[in-house]
Amino acid sequence: MNYTELLTKFSPRPIKSDVELQMMIAVMHSLLDKPSLTSDEKDFLDLLGILIEAYENSKVKIPDIYGVEMLKALIAERPLSNEELIDIFGSKNNLAQVLTGETLSIDKIEKLAKLYNVSPAVFFPKS
């Protein structure tokens, strides 16, 4: 299909609901299921991607957290195993002290950043 035909058939517009999002994703999948795409179909997919991204960005608010709050969020997502806990903090008591306000050492920050695959900067308090 050429670009004008795609626009006429699917009539993309800004997404305003989850139902519209699912419809847009279905259109995207119908094109992606094709064995090969024309340049017009690839351009149309780019348009759908932009519309989907804009909607998702308007719905998902990523909190701006740092330091201990980031550590708490990461632990909630993937708790530390006993082995990781001992390696980084030495004990549950030491972890509890950090979670209640004790500053993280550079050594602990480096280990946590590596473990959670994030920048060490996220563990420093927001200034």
Structural domain including 74 reads 67-123
> 83 and 117 share a domain?
yes
pLDDT at residue 63, rounded to an integer: 66
Do 71 and 55 lie in a common domain? no
* Count of the separate structural domains present in the chain: 2
Given 42, 59, 76, which residue is the final one in a domain?
A: 59
pLDDT for 68: 87
Other CB atoms within a 10 A radius of the CB of residue 116 amount to 18
Q: Where are the alpha helices (DSSP H) in the chain?
A: 3-10, 18-32, 39-59, 67-77, 82-89, 92-99, 106-116
**CB-based contacts of 2: which residues, under 8 Å, 6+ apart?**
38, 40
Whether residue 104 contacts residue 112, with contact meaning beta carbons closer than 8 Å, is answered with: yes
Task: pLDDT tens for the chain, 127 residues: list them.
Answer: 899 999 999 999 999 999 999 999 999 999 999 999 999 999 999 999 999 999 988 886 666 788 888 899 899 999 989 899 899 999 889 888 988 888 888 999 999 999 999 989 888 877 6
pLDDT, residue 115, reads 92
Q: What's the token pair of residue 110? A: 């480096």
At 3 the pLDDT is 93
Q: Which of 37, 59, 81 is the last residue of a domain?
A: 59
DSSP 8-state symbol, 102: P
- Give me the sign of the Cα torsion angle 55, 61, 66, 71: negative
Report the CATH number that the domain containing residue 107 is assigned in CATH: 1.10.260
